[in-house]
Each structure stands twice: as C-alpha cells, then as structure tokens.
Amino acid sequence: MSNEIKSIHEFDVNLICEYYSSVERQGPGSTEVTLKALSFIDTLSEESHITDLGCGTGGQTMVLAQHTPGKITGIDVFPTFIDLFNSNAEKLNFQQRVKGMVGSMDDLPFQDEELDLIWSEGAIYNIGFERGLREWRRYLKPGGYIAVSEASWFTDERPAEIEKFWMDAYPGIDTIPNQVKQLQKAGYIPVAAFILPENCWTEHFYVPQVPAQEVFLKEHAGNEAVEDFIANLRHESQLYDKYKAFYGYVFYIGKKI
Ligand code: SAH
C-alpha cells in the first residue's frame, strides 16, 4: 500500500459502487434525522408524488415510505443501487408505490410542477447545492417542499488540513448562512436548517464500514487500488474525528414560493 493518500476522484466509480453496496447507508444520516426533516412538511396526501434524488440503496427512502402516503420515485445513476433499492421496497411490500429508477439528477424525468416533495440526502453535491436547488425547483408544485442534506462549514475559518481536504473533495462546501441565502435566492422560503448529530457520521456511517472494509479487503486481497481506496476512507473518518467541530452535514428544508 502506498503511504500517500489519494484524492477520492482518482478511484474507479465501479469500485466505489461495489463497496457502498455492502453498507446500508451511502452517506451520513439516520432514521431520526429523516423523520425530523419530514416533520417540517405538512402537505402530503395519498395523491402526493415525492422523489428521492441520489437515493442510493434506499435506506432513507424506505423510512420516508413508512411515514408518508403517496408515490415515491427514487433516482440514482448506479443500476446496482437501484436493483438493491427495488428489492428493499419489495421486502417491505412497498413495490406498488415506491419505485427506483436509473437516472441522473441533472436530467430528471418529471413534468413541471409534478412533485410535492423533492428529497435528497447527502447527494446534491453531485450537481452542486446552488445548481440543484435552482434546476429542481420547476418540478415542484407551488407550495411544494425541498429537503436536502449538504456538507457545511460551521465556522468562517478552519484549520488548513481540513480546508485542503474539502477543497479537493468538494469545493462547493459553504457556511450555513451562505447556504440558507442560496436556498432563499433560488426561490424557496427557508423553513428550517438543522445540523445532523454526530451519530449520523459515527454510529450510522463510519462504524458499520469498519467490518465492511475488512471484508472488502479480503475479497480483493492484493488489489492495490482497493487498498488505496480503503486507506482513503479511513483517512476521511479520522479527519472527521479530528475536525468535527468545523464541519458536518446540515438538513435544509425550503418551501417553493
Ligand atoms: N441518499 C443516500 C446516498 C447518498 S451517496 C444516503 O443518504 O445513503 C450519493 C448518491 O448519489 C450515490 O448513491 C450516487 O450513486 C448518487 N449519484 C451520484 N451522481 C448522481 C447523479 N448525477 N444523479 C443521481 N444520483 C447520483
């Protein structure tokens, strides 16, 4: 294994996809946080249409389905995630109203003003926070909601090591007041913004990955790309431990004006 930590952008997407298929969540979050965000939304009925963009294998989508009426369309670029999503929906007997589709968040298959709620946990960074908020707005009915979680800085300044890490991984990260402003400028009333508790990163995200990483390394013994990838993930979780006072995920809920 090389000692140098590589940038996440250097790894093969299929490798990343295979690894994340083995864990329940592909980003920080929890059932409690999904339900807290949902508690701000008061307009859903059996006629509602919800989408979950960058749904992954559907951990949070199934929580939504258990607590909302209406139809849910999950969208993700990775067919493997969508297959797992649809078999999860079937296991819970939601297949009539919860469907996963392969697609991209920058080319959505909806009509203007078709949706009551756009959900996206830990995924809007793929298109960029501001761009996603602006481009997705047209698909919402007037009075419809958007609820997204996004990486945020907690302070105006931070140590160089963590600043450098994020500038490489996702330079779109910004402070909470700036992101609330972007939400407002994109045409939504900022209804709520709250920080995801630490256990969304630890208990629900990094901890389940410890055994998954051991298994993945064993399955790919001798594969240097896999060793580098796992080293990268371990480095990322160590950085979280060291610098969690400076950044985290924030849930932003907005209502279309
Ligand atoms: N919402 C899930 C997954 C978050 S990880 C969770 O919280 O567990 C980010 C997800 O975005 C991955 O599943 C990835 O495949 C997906 N993704 C990446 N680019 C995308 C795009 N252009 N369109 C749709 N999904 C995308």
Give the residue numbers spanning the domain of 115.
Answer: 27-197+246-256
* Band (211; pLDDT cuts 50, 70, 90): very high
Task: Evaluate whether residue 168 is within a structural domain.
Answer: yes
**Residue 3 in this model has a pLDDT that exceeds 60:** no
Task: Evaluate whether residue 12 is within a structural domain.
Answer: no
Tell me the C-alpha distance between 45 and 102, whole Å: 26
Task: Evaluate whether residue 48 is within a structural domain.
Answer: yes
Which one, of 209, 197, 253, lies nearest residue 32 by Cα?
A: 197
Ligand 1 centroid, distance to 56 Cα (angstroms)? 5
Tell me the C-alpha distance between 39 and 33, whole Å: 10
Which one, of 129, 1, 113, 112, lies nearest residue 53 by Cα?
A: 129
Task: Evaluate whether residue 187 is within a structural domain.
Answer: yes
- Any residues with Cβ below 6 Å from ligand 1, and which? 25-27, 29, 53-56, 59-60, 75-78, 81, 104-106, 121-123, 126
Residue closest via CA to ligand 1's atom 21 equals: 104
Task: Evaluate whether residue 64 is within a structural domain.
Answer: yes
Residue 72 makes CB contacts below 8 A (sequence gap 6+) with: 49, 50, 51, 52, 61, 64, 65, 94, 97, 98, 99
Q: How many domains does the chain have?
A: 1
Which one, of 94, 88, 78, lies nearest residue 18 by Cα?
A: 78
CATH number at residue 72: 3.40.50.150
Q: What is the pTM of this model?
A: 0.95
Tell me the C-alpha distance between 213 and 226, whole Å: 10
Q: Is the dihedral of CA 33, 35, 39, 45 positive or negative?
A: positive
What are 132-171's pLDDT values in tens digits?
Answer: 999 999 999 999 999 999 999 999 999 999 999 999 999 9
* Band (1; pLDDT cuts 50, 70, 90): very low
Ligand 1 pocket mutation, candidates 13, 76, 233, criterion most atoms within 8 A of CB: 76
What are 160-192's pLDDT values in tens digits?
Answer: 999 999 999 999 999 999 999 999 999 999 999
